[in-house]
Amino acid sequence: MIKKIGIVSRCDHADALEMVKTILDKFGSRVDIILAPSTAGSLNVEGYDIVPVDQMRDEGIELIISVGGDGTVLRNISKMDDPLPILGINMGKLGFLVDVNPENAIASIETVLTGFKYGKRARLAVSLNGETLPSATNEVAVITASPAKILTYKISVDDCELDELRADGVVFATPTGSTAYAMSAGGPIIDPRVDAALIVPLAPFRLSSRPWVVPADSTIRVELTSPEKEAVIVIDGQHNYTIVEHDVITLTKAEKPARFVRTTISGFYKKVQSKLA
C-alpha cells in the first residue's frame, strides 16, 4: 500500500482545483497527502502539509498526482533532479503525457494506491556555456528571438560536425518529445523504448537539412554563429534563455529519467492513434 502522495495542479483552472478537492475528500483519511505550495494556495482547505515539489522526495512521498495537462506535468518534472513517479489526471486538451480522464480519476487512484508500476522516460541534460539548465523531458528548442530572422547554427555530435545549419531554429527532442514540437516540425515519431535523441531543423534554408536520429548517449554541441543576432532556448515550453553569437549549448542524456505511472495496457501505439489521429 502507498502511504504518502503529493498533489500538484493547475492553479488557474477551476475544474482542476475541484478535482483536487474531490481527491482530498475521498482519500484524505486513507493516505498521507502533501500539497504543492501553489496548489495549496489556490484551495480553501486546511490540515494538509505543504512541501515544494523539489523537496517531495526528501519527505518520503512515493508518487505525485498531477491534475492538469501536459504542461503541468512537464513544469513539475523540471523542478526535480530525480523525478518521482507521476500519475497524470487530464484536465487539459490533448493530454499525451496524462493517461487518466477525469471520469476515471478516482477509480485509477484507488488502484494505484494498492501498488503501481512505472515507465522510465529519458531526459536531456542541458548546459549553456557550462552552466547547468533544467533537464528536458520533451525537447529543447533553439529558435530565433526575432520573427522572420534566419539564424546560423553549428551542430556537432560527439565532436563530429553534423551541419552548419541556416534555419529559423532547431528542436532537440527525446523519444517522448518526438510526438510534440518535433513531430509538428516534420520529425519522425520514436517509440519511447528506443534509446535515441532527435534533431529537427525548423524551416531550414537548404533542402539537404533533414531530421537526424542519434544515439541517446551522444554529446550534442550547438553554437550560434549568427553575428549580432539573438536566439532563445526554450526547455519543454517552460524555461526560456537568451543566447548570442558564440554561445554554446551542450546536450547529453540526463542521469535521472522521468517516471510515469502505468495505468493502462494499451501501449504507446494505441495512444498515438487515439491522441494524434
Active site residues: 70
- Residues 214, 216, 219, 225, CA torsion sign: positive
Q: Which of 211, 219, 154 is CA-nearest to residue 182?
A: 211
- Report how far apart, in Å, the C-alpha atoms of 178 and of each of 24, 128, 140, 181, 188 are: 35, 23, 11, 7, 7
CA distance 29 to 233: 44
Are 40 and 6 a contacting pair, CB within 8 Å?
no
Distance, CA of 225 to chain centre: 28
Contacts of 64 (CB under 8 A, 6+ apart): 5, 6, 7, 8, 53, 56, 76, 84, 85, 86, 87
Helices (H), 95-229: 105-112, 181-184
